[in-house]
Amino acid sequence: MFKAGKYYVGDLCYVVDKHEDWMQLLNDTDYFRNDNQSYKGYPIFAASTAHGDGTFHDQFGNEYAVDAGIIGIMPYEAIEKENKGGNIIDFKEDFEVVTAHGIFYIGDIKIDTYGWGEDEDDEQEDEDDFWNDEDDN
């Protein structure tokens, strides 16, 4: 559970300034595999995306660029350089962070890194096109 407040949401590599600090963060969190993660005494969270690097979107259309294969959150007070690639979000209430099968749930935000944001209609059209093409052969 994270406390209400302002957080950076995105690839944490964009907000840690020094290479040696980034390497220390990777070591301290076992490459973000530890359950309890922190940076500069602040609780953080990060996990791998389903397909590594790329650009992902939440259900509101906000963009999240990924270069280190992760999406995470870090309190605004802990970020060291200007936000690039993610978003600063002010959570009004305490919130949970959960990831499953490449989908990140951060409070009321959902970032799908598994389906790359395709909606069900697009997936159904692709499937229909596939089967219709098969009938033509």
- Residues 71, 73, 79, 81, Cα dihedral to 10°: 30
Q: What is the pLDDT of residue 131?
A: 47
Structural domain harbouring 80: 5-136
Q: What is the pLDDT of residue 132?
A: 52
Q: Which segments within the chain are labelled E, that is strand?
A: 5-10, 37-39, 42-48, 54-57, 63-66, 70-75, 87-91, 97-100, 103-106, 109-112
How far is the C-alpha of 110 from the C-alpha of 32, rounded, in Å? 19
pLDDT per position as a tens digit, 90-125: 999 999 999 999 999 999 999 999 985 555 444 445
How many domains does the chain contain in total? 1
Mean of all residue pLDDT scores within the chain: 88
How wide is the angle at C-alpha 27 spanned by C-alphas 38 and 47, nearest 5°? 60
State how beta strands 54-57 and 63-66 pair: antiparallel
Task: Report the predicted TM-score, pTM, of the whole model to 2 decimal places.
Answer: 0.83
pLDDT of residue 34 exceeding 70: yes
